[in-house]
Amino acid sequence: MNQQLNLFLQLADAVIITDAKHTILRVNGAYENITGYQQEEIIGKRAGILRTPYTSQSVYDGMKRAIQAGRPWSGVFTNRKRDKELWHSSITITPFEIEGELYFVGVFRELEKLKQGLYLDEDRASRMQGSLLKVLAISCEIRDPGTEAHLSRVQNLTELLVDRHNERMELALPKAELARIANASILHDIGKSGIPEGILYKPGSLADYERTIIEMHPIIGIDIVDKIFAELDDELFEKELQTAKNIILYHHERWDGTGYPHGLKGEAIPLEARIVSVVDVFDALSTKRSYKEKWSLDSTLHYLRDQRGRQFDPSVVDSFLSLVEDELLVPHLAAQ
């Protein structure tokens, strides 16, 4: 190994040096202390010896693209020490070409240990949040065996629509926010768990007082999630909770201001609620319910077009219709 690279081994942070094929050439004392691997037993092995499935594939893909292009790369890894204990580090990998030979120098800085003892990358945290919200939603709607399928369809279709709307309208919403909207959409009708079954599943039209009770479900839903998340008191779910509350409370508001419970109008209605509103109505109309027959796809789409600018945000309807034009709803319709 070129002697110029030995200077990096004097750093206080953990340092690993590999050749162009990512074979380990040298590590420093800090690396030995953190990982438990001594230099003599790790030299000659591949740099991926510490790799675990807890670092998302997207991180590795980003690293690979950068180093193949000859650029430095920084990111966060969850690796495993020699004794199998997990460790979490911020790493910078820098390529060096010296006398025609390519080397990579990785400098690790161990992250402070979290109370939970585990670092969660963005993708893994999103999966955990989504799973918890799904269990919560289904457990609160267990009275109706068809509800789970409806909730899953709404969540899947919301994911499609929010991605399409973000792209089509050039909103530049970050990936994490798109995931939050899709995850939280499954809670949209959680307040219906507090509505008497005789009203909720009544065939035919509702009396005025029954309609008033039904329209209380957004308020009931907010009360339910506030009580549940008060017990969690975990910042991991803070943004997820706010998104869920916006969807629960406002997905029955109408673009023209005639919705409930607050009569919000236009863009005063949070975007996530406007998106779920279109998805929820589409699924409700295009499936059979205890109080109605299934509408045809043409009839359902005609309703969405007719309510564009009245019940629904026109731009969200247009984004939804673009999914139809691209035939991306075929799996969704097959699942009904």
Query: Which residue numbers are catalytic?
Result: 192
Residues 6+ apart with CB under 8 A from 190: 136, 137, 140, 141, 221, 224, 225, 248
In one-letter notation, the amino acid at residue 304 is L
CB-count burial class (<10 Å; 0-12, 13-18, 19+) for 208: exposed
Closest CA to 217 of 197, 189, 243: 189
**Two tokens at 67?**
């180093």
Closest CA to 320 of 268, 285, 292: 285
Place of tokens 């929820």: 280
Closest CA to 111 of 94, 86, 82: 86
3-state secondary structure at position 117 = coil
Q: At what angle do helices 238-250 and 122-140 cross, to 10 degrees?
A: 40
Percentages of the chain per state (helix, strand, coil), in multiples of 5? 55, 15, 30
| Positive or negative torsion for Cα 303, 220, 271, 133 | negative
Whether 105 and 93 have beta carbons less than 8 Å apart is answered as: yes
The CB density around residue 284, as the number of other CB atoms within 10 Å, is: 15
Cis peptide leading into 53, omega within 30 of 0?
no
CA dihedral 150, 154, 156, 162 (to 10 degrees): 180
**Two tokens at 124?**
């893994």
311 backbone dihedrals φ, ψ, rounded to 5°: -85, -35
β-pairing, 24-27 with 73-80? unpaired
